[in-house]
Structure 1
């Protein structure tokens, strides 16, 4: 018989796995940076700098040390929040990314909130009468949302909503928080429409399964209304697969932000990543990739922990 694993032990084991994955991400990113063959001193000072000045800067940066010594130094600086120096602007990478993280974070938060606001009512309408008209329309929406590329959907929203109505800007982020929300609505809706189809299919399957379970049938026999059966009894037990799929989507949506931000000219990590890649600014590219990888790992850990709150069976050891 499986035994219940204490929650703190499960969290500790998950945290250890998270740290190992994050360490692996740092090694992979540093390895790719080393394989690029770029001379940091020459890239920062420019092609007209003297070799003596380049060698002096490389020594200061530790770029003249063996690979593993450089990697250990890289980890030490990373723990202190030092992400290196931009090849293009010769400014700390942490300063470049600090102004972009908020835009990307707010975009993804709004995208996930909008996706759930779309997914939950549509799935509820589909589950209420499986095979009915509403269910068929919801399936058609999931099909259209799955095959539609993010950049094309963003352009359609600009052409069909932003330009005719003027309610939302075609691009840009604004200066105040209200302008941020207004400028990010269409980009967030683009992200949400891409996320919703998978959420709907996952939630529909688990919700239908829960609606046919014995405890729901018992509640129905006691005269519980259909809405209460669906929301109070079946939905909580259908949430675990949804949490798992949202965690998987988090990684996808972070990299989708690269496309959406460039479509709507949002000054986030995605736009900064493309700009740095065009400038061959490898420290910025590597730091942005590392931040995105860390975010995926952390979100997966949080999702695993949240799953145990909804389903105690996940706390059993094997």
Structure 2
């Protein structure tokens, strides 16, 4: 099978199209013909081995798993003898969070992995797009911040893969939503449900006198220290990017009854229930996929280069096979 292989950390040039052995499903596994994957900042972090936490988890000197890619959508081609909940022909979407392997024509996943039948109304590309940012946003907003009706929520990086779904989810939960993005993406963020949009090139949301119950930094560009004054007395700051700063501030604020700083490894916290939840939101129209660009598997390195620019809107999708 064709696969994008990464044997060392570095620039997108380390991603090479090669022939790889087609995986054989174990008794508890399904083999999926991959139709679509994604490239986001976390995928680029795994490729670069930066931040350092990536190396501690997935190989210090080189990637532990040479085929990257986490989110996928595709068709179950075959199942192991012990599999009961899937059958050949099922159209599925989900994540390969432990062993990656999505940048390939086939991947095997345990039956118990975060994997379910995809929404019938979404294409493979749309399903994998929603799977990418929406699950992360769901973990932070619903599970960590417990966003509820009437709260004021600010999303920094509101046009990115996580931010664009965070806007939609926060609105679904009944919050008053402010999105922070470039002027070029303001209309998109409004269309997704933001009540107000701040152009970061003209206004600093941490210094305009406004306060929020939740500040979700979906791109890791502002620290807790910078955002603290824009939080209400019991406000919550969320960051998707691991850093010494966020970890220290988590410890400092954990025992206090006031403002909180929170980071979570959202990708490792996903399950079938979360996938079913976002699937239902897609069916009702409460959640809509946003795809910026599509690349064939052979151009995965180019997709990484584009994501590295930090200018993408919503998702970048890798189209695999016919």
TM class by shorter chain equals: under 0.3
If each structure's helix is expressed as a fraction of its own residues, which one has the higher value?
Answer: 1
- Work out which structure has the larger RCO, using CA pairs closer than 8 Å and 6 or more positions apart in sequence: 1
Q: Which has the larger radius of gyration?
A: 1
If each structure's strand is expressed as a fraction of its own residues, which one has the higher value?
Answer: 2
TM-score (norm 2): 0.22
